[in-house]
Amino acid sequence: MFRTTRKKTLLWFIGIPVLTGILAIALYQIPFIHEKLSWRIDELQTRIKYAINPPEEAIFVPEQQQQLATIVQQTLSALTPEVTDAPETPTPEPATPTPTLQPLPQSVFLEGVQYEDQHNRWNYCGPSNLSMALNFWGWDGDRDVVGAYVKPSDKDKNVLPSEMEDFVRTQTFLNMIIRQGGDIQVLKQLISAGFPVLVEKGYYEVDYTGNLGWLGHYQFVTGYDDTINSFLVQDTYIKDGKDHLTTYDEFLDGWISFNYIFLVVYPAEQEEALFEALGPWLDSAWAAQHALETAVSQTQTETELDEFFAWFNLGTSHVALQQYVDAAYAYDQAFAIYASLTLDDVSRPYRIMWYQTGPFWAYYYSGRFGDVINLANTTLLETISEPVLEECFYWRGLAYEGLGDIDQAIHDWRVALELHPDWDPARIQLERVGAYP
């Protein structure tokens, strides 16, 4: 009798939790429950891992720049004849002409904006903001339609501007233009001409350490008011994000971390009006050069965190101009400043490589395959709770191929394709080497 009762008790204490766990797992697979809970579980896992291995302590140290500089110097010394009197180098004229500023209304607030938030979704500012931009021009869809294409995994941390452009051009009747080096004036020109603008910015909030943590964030700019020096934005993240006012200074403080990039959705019949409103920014090369000159200036005037962003932007601008060796040098300086940051109230922006791939372009096309691999490993293994960044695997695969390890390259491209099904960059590489599907 005693043994029977004991067995029943053991079955009760062991069986009930097991059954509860099985039931919880089964319920979690139901789409609407999974949709509501997955981001909360991911957040909990992230907090636990970050508490054990603080991501802001992860440091990437470029190692190949000095090696290449030594080789170049030795080569130049062997090939260059001795010169006794070098001619003076003339000071070059600025490559960027000063834009002609058109008189604009003191304030403009665009009508017809349908606000959409990103709540109950994980890292969904990209789909939500793009949905608003498309709806403004009559597209019939919402954030989930966009997200299913550009962010098929709920673990995806970011949607690149190029991915948003791909969605617009292939899945809608609309078009998109992307430019770097924006400023307050060009945003006002676009808005006054009837074109709301998407921007990618840095955003700060208190993180698990009690410090301000940096992350990337899209905003939809739909108006401005010079009487209070503010933009009207639709912010998908904050509680009162609809028709949110942000001062020009606050706006610029966040925008610097993405090289002042902006995106405009437009219908074909409005192309001429858009091109006129863009002014010199219509020329993508001009815009990249303008961004480069802004970054050069800011590397000399900014300090601490903004100095890091200035050097990073300098690299990004060089990449846009296909000046990869110069870009690699600028990124080297940025990462050196990053390593030296000792801010008391703001964590290092360890998420920077979740959102921007410029350093991969620069190091890869400079032949610095080892730095590509080390940067990808630092990002995947030390700055994120799970290695779910398809861009890191893609570029690491290219670098492994460059070093002759085709098997590892194929492995990385397949992982990238698993993380982002039907993602063209990874698929194209696998097809190229005969490893797809």
User: What would the DSSP string read from start to end of 360-396?
Assistant: HHHHHHTT-HHHHHHHHHHHHHHSSSS---HHHHHHH
Which amino acid belongs to residue 54? P
Asked if 324 contacts 270 with a C-beta cutoff of 8 angstroms, the reply is: no
Query: According to the model, what pLDDT value does residue 93 have?
Result: 46
Name the fold adopted by 107-286. Answer: Cathepsin B; Chain A (3.90.70)
Residue 233 CA: distances (Å) to CA of 236, 281, 285: 9, 22, 28
For 88-117, what is each residue's pLDDT tens digit? 433 434 555 555 556 899 999 999 999 999
Q: How confident is the model at residue 41 (pLDDT cuts 50, 70, 90)?
A: low
Q: What is the mean pLDDT of residues 254-266?
A: 98
Query: According to the model, what pLDDT value does residue 260 have?
Result: 98
Query: According to the model, what pLDDT value does residue 85 have?
Result: 40
Rg (CA), the chain: 25
CB-CB neighbours of 406 under 10 Å = 13
Asked if 199 contacts 221 with a C-beta cutoff of 8 angstroms, the reply is: yes
First and final C-alpha spacing in the chain = 62
Q: What are phi and psi of 391, to 5 degrees?
A: -65, -40
Query: According to the model, what pLDDT value does residue 207 have?
Result: 74
Say how far apart CA 283 and CA 136 lie, in whole Å.
25
Same topology between domain 107-286 and domain 357-437: no
For 177-191, what is each residue's pLDDT tens digit? 999 999 999 999 999
Q: What is the mean pLDDT of residues 165-182?
A: 98
Which amino acid belongs to residue 389? L
Instruction: Calculate the average pLDDT of the chain.
Output: 87
Sign, CA torsion 45/51/53/58: positive
Architecture of domain 357-437: Alpha Horseshoe (1.25)
Lowest mean pLDDT among 128-142, 203-217, 260-274, 365-379: 203-217
Asked if 293 contacts 310 with a C-beta cutoff of 8 angstroms, the reply is: no
Domain spans in the chain, listed from the N-terminal domain onward = 2-51, 107-286, 357-437
Q: Is 248 exposed, middle or buried (0-12, 13-18, 19+ CB in 10 A)?
A: middle
Say how far apart CA 379 and CA 246 lie, in whole Å.
32
Query: According to the model, what pLDDT value does residue 88 have?
Result: 43
